[in-house]
């Protein structure tokens, strides 16, 4: 996951007929919402708490619960745990939104910057490794080119010597036969 996660344990009792618990994994820079269709005249009770395994400091939440017509039924900022309850006045979809507070968002941004710095250092290390490998390969290529050049010159020398020997032999043969 690209960002550190905050694990939220939510027990929202009576949002549905039997009551359920909802677990959310919330990143340090995101907001998560969930909704439930509820009939009118239902008592809704909710408890929320934060589990923060692997997180350097205990995060702080903001929570807001709204009715189907946008009326805010519960709003808290900078809390680590809490409860809410209300009686539904109208049937419809009720919405509960959770987000990490600003201080933790800044901490999340700092953590992201640290991760990015680590990634940049890893990329830089890989580039330096590739540069050294490229240098080694260039040295091998230059040495191979040097060997091929000498091999070509030796081959050319053998061809020139062979042609001179053939000319000398043919000239001697034609003089012996008195053709020239």
- Per-residue pLDDT tens for 63-77? 899 888 888 888 888
Rounded distance between C-alpha atoms, residue 96 and residue 88, angstroms: 14
The residues spanned by each domain of the chain are 33-103, 104-179
Tell me if 89 sits within 8 A of 67, measured CB to CB: yes
Task: State the pLDDT confidence band at 58, using cuts at 50, 70 and 90.
Answer: low
pLDDT tens readout for residues 38-52: 888 888 888 888 776
Q: Give the position of tokens 């007929």.
A: 17
For residues 99 and 61, the answer to whether their CB atoms sit within 8 Å is yes
What is the C-alpha to C-alpha distance for residues 105 and 59, in angstroms, rounded to an integer? 9
Q: Among the ranges 20-29, 38-47, 164-173, which has the highest mean pLDDT value?
A: 164-173
Report pLDDT digits (tens) over 1-20.
333 333 333 333 333 445 56
How would DSSP label each residue in the chain?
--S-EEEEEEEEETSSSS-EEEEEEEETT-EEEEEEEE-SS-EEEEEEEEE-TT-SS---EEEEEE-TTS-EEEEEEEESEEEEEEE-SS-EEEEEEEEE-HHHHHHHHHHHHHHHHHHHHHHHHHHHHHHHHHHHHHHHHHHHHHHHHHHHHHHHHHHHHHHHHHHHHHHHHHHHTT--
| Lowest-confidence region among 3-7, 66-70, 131-135, 164-168 | 3-7
Model pLDDT for residues 84-113, shown as the tens digit of each residue: 888 888 898 898 888 876 555 566 677 788
pTM of the full structure: 0.46
Contacts of 166 (CB under 8 A, 6+ apart): none
Q: Residue 78 has which token pair?
A: 């900078």
Nearest to 90 by CA among 45, 48, 46, 44: 44
């Amino acid at each position: 996951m690209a960002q550190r996660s905050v694990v939220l344990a939510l027990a929202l009792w009576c949002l549905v007929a039997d009551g359920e618990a909802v677990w959310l994994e919330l990143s340090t820079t995101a907001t998560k919402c969930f909704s439930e269709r509820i009939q009118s005249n239902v008592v809704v009770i909710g408890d929320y708490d934060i589990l923060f395994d692997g997180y350097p400091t205990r995060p702080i939440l903001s929570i807001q619960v709204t009715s189907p017509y946008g009326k805010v039924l519960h709003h808290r900022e900078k809390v680590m745990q809490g409860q809410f309850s209300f009686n539904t006045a109208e049937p419809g979809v009720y919405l509960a939104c959770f987000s990490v507070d600003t201080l933790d968002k800044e901490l999340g941004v700092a953590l992201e910057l640290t991760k990015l710095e680590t990634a940049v250092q890893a990329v830089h290390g890989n580039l330096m490794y590739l540069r050294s490998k490229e240098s080694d390969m260039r040295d091998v290529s230059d040495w191979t080119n040097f060997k091929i050049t000498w091999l070509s010159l030796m081959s050319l020398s053998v061809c020139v010597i062979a042609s001179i020997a053939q000319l000398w032999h043919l000239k001697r043969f034609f003089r012996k036969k008195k053709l020239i």
